[in-house]
Amino acid sequence: MFMRDDELYNSSIGVFYDAPHWSHEDYYAFMLLERIIGSYQMNRNGNSHLNDVTKQYSMFEAWCGMLPDVTRGQAIYSPYRDCGLFGTFLYGNEVFTRMMTYTGVFIPASYGQYVLIFNFCVFEKKKLFFVFLKIF
């Protein structure tokens, strides 16, 4: 959903997805993913401290640092008894509303690609191991 209010200077963007509940087996994986994505605050991670935004701790911080008026960003995982929410929250100048929305979609999906690549490498490693067993 996208709503615009011309009287406000800043906008708050939240992009959230369905996530595992408390007793689901992926509960701890989503807690870890929330920590990996992390958070961004302009006064701690921004250019005011002479930080190079391309050398930040996470992809999320580097991406938010390239947008000059994004004040705050945070990954949020909220599990409940029967469902959960996972996503990103960003706050900044309304000029960057569309980029902040794109960031909320792009960042979790990009970490999902790393998981796919890792699983592929593990599968190939196991396959290669069995090939070596057949040789010897």
Q: Which residue has the higher pLDDT, 123 or 9?
A: 9
Contact 77, 84 (CB under 8 A): yes
Q: What one-letter code names the amino acid at 75?
A: A
pLDDT band at 77 (very low <50, low <70, confident <90, very high): very high
Sole residue written with tokens 């906008």: 11
Q: What is the pLDDT of residue 16?
A: 92
Domain-embedded: residue 34: yes
Sole residue written with tokens 């963007």: 13
Q: What is the pLDDT of residue 4?
A: 62
pTM of this prediction?
0.73
Domain-embedded: residue 28: yes
**Both tokens assigned to 100:** 């902040």
Q: What is the pLDDT of residue 74?
A: 93
Domain-embedded: residue 127: yes
| pLDDT, tens digit, 9 for 90 and up, residues 15-35 | 999 999 999 988 888 888 888
DSSP 8-state symbol, 17: E
Q: What is the pLDDT of residue 104?
A: 85
Q: What whole-number percentage of the chain has pLDDT above 90?
A: 20
Q: What is the pLDDT of residue 9?
A: 80
Domain-embedded: residue 2: no
Q: Say how many domains are in the chain.
A: 1
Mean residue pLDDT across the chain: 79
Range of the domain at 53: 10-135
Q: What is the pLDDT of residue 76?
A: 94
Domain-embedded: residue 5: no
Q: Give the mean pLDDT of 97-121.
A: 76
Count of beta carbons in the 10 Å neighbourhood of residue 132: 8
Assign 57 to helix, strand or coil. Answer: coil
Tell me the H-state helices in the chain. Answer: 27-37, 42-45, 59-65, 97-135
Domain-embedded: residue 62: yes
Domain-embedded: residue 33: yes
- CA 73 to chain CA centroid, nearest Å: 10
**Both tokens assigned to 122:** 């593990």
Domain-embedded: residue 3: no
Name the pairing type of β-strands 39-41 and 70-79: antiparallel
